[in-house]
Amino acid sequence: MTTVLFILLSWGIMTAKTRRQMIALATAGAVAVMLASPPRAYAQGLWAAIQGVLKVINGIIKTALNSIRTVRGVISDFYRLKVWPEEVIHQARSLVTQMINRYRAPMAAIFNIRLQSARLASTRQLEMLMRNAQTGDFQALGTNYVTVYGTLPTNTAASPADRTLIDVDDALAQDTLKTLKESDAADNITLGIANRLEDSASQAAPGSAPFVTATAVAASIQTQALTQKMLAAELRQEAAELAHRNTLRKEQATVASQVSTSIQKTLQPQR
């Protein structure tokens, strides 16, 4: 019986995770041995159990723990000195911090330079709406656009063709201005993401570089998509400009044909 208890006790001590658990198991084992032994062998059994437990702790278990501690120390030193050298990591973090301190404030100052140039009240208001990088005031933008550039002429003030050209030109101009405001708002978000990525890089833990890089690549792709959107808006504006010019040429050709017909009729002899 004592042998079985000793084997179970040894196994429990080997699987214990902390020193406190080992002591608790040793005490419980000693009490169990004492209770399992005959009354006349209490003292001898208890002392033998305690000696056996101490022998196991100071022998096999101690040797195993020292080996584990040595292996863990070697692995830790390998990662600390070879895989992720602390000195190199501190140098990289210091470089990122220096770049942030040197360039972030000047670049922010450049982005925040006020470029407003309008002098009249109506044009100043329109310019402010065009540059405020907000997307919730499109209605105000349209109202101020009409105030500065005028409204669509009535049916009696312009021909249907002229009214059509004026309407489509105004629509495309306002569409481009709204897209520009969306782009400015997205630029501000992108700059905020860039600042957070820089801050993360200056405090990144070893091994986290791929995650920071993936985030930066995703932000770069989003910026490229925004650039493509702005290029598309510019191409639409150019296409509208070409269409406008061609429409004017067509009208001129029509007028010239009408004038030529009128002249020919005028020059024909009267019968």
Q: Which domain holds residue 216?
A: 87-113+152-267
171 with 77, same domain: the answer is no
Separation between Cα atoms, residue 145 and residue 168, nearest integer Å:
14
Residue 128 reports pLDDT greater than 90: yes
**Same domain? 160 vs 257:** yes
Residue 41 has pLDDT above 80, yes or no: no
Q: Say whether both 71 and 161 belong to one domain.
A: no
pLDDT at 143 over 70: yes
Q: Is residue 185 in a domain?
A: yes
Q: Which of 38-47, 102-111, 193-202, 251-260 has the lowest mean pLDDT?
A: 38-47
Q: Which of 84, 28, 85 is nearest to 53 (CA)?
A: 28
How many domains, the chain? 2
The pair of structure tokens assigned to 223 is 């910026």
Residue bearing the bigger pLDDT, 173 or 115: 173
pLDDT at 138: 94
In this structure, the answer to whether residues 19 and 93 fall within a common structural domain is no
More confident residue, 146 or 203: 146
Highest mean pLDDT (candidates 41-45, 75-79, 189-193): 189-193
Q: Within a domain: residue 143?
A: no
CB of 43 closer than 8 Å to CB of 15: no
| Residues 25/14, Cβ–Cβ less than 8 Å | no
Same domain, 38 and 95: no
Q: Report which DSSP code applies to 154.
A: P
Same domain, 92 and 166: yes
Query: DSSP readout, 97-109?
Result: HHHHHHHHHHHHH
The pLDDT tens digits of the residues spanning 147-192 come to 999 999 998 888 888 899 999 999 999 999 999 899 889 888 888 8
204: Cβ–Cβ under 8 A, 6 or more apart, which residues? 93, 212
Point out the domain boundary residue: 44, 61, 83. 83
Find the largest Cα–Cα distance for the chain. 158
